[in-house]
Amino acid sequence: MAEILIKPIKTKTHNGTDAEITGIDLTSTDCIVGTASVNHGSPDKSWNIHGICRDNPDDLNLNLNSNEIADLMETIKKLQG
């Protein structure tokens, strides 16, 4: 299945790094797709339904304390059935 593009959501990671959510990939356990501002490495990131950024420091995990992110998580759960 192709990635579902969404209206970008600007948010922060645990350490305050700027992140932007741009899509949902229902075929991956890391279903949240976007970018994070990093000093080195690829800015392309993906997170699981719990906001954990695979193969990256915990600092890049999503801060889940925003209404937009909570709404996104609820939408993903509904789409996953």
Mean pLDDT of the chain: 92
Domain ranges of the chain: 4-80
Tracing tokens 């229902």 back to the chain, one arrives at: 26
The reply to whether the predicted model has a pTM over 0.95 is no
For 75-81, what is the mean pLDDT? 92
- pLDDT of 1 reads 60
> What is each CA distance from 74 to 34, 52, 61, 80, 81, in whole angstroms?
18, 16, 18, 10, 11
- How do residues 36-65 score in pLDDT, each as one tens digit? 998 876 799 999 999 999 889 999 999 998
Whether residue 24 has pLDDT greater than 80: yes
- Three-state SS for 36? strand
- pLDDT of 20 reads 96
> Cβ distance 25 to 67 under 8 Å?
no
Percent of the chain with pLDDT over 90: 81
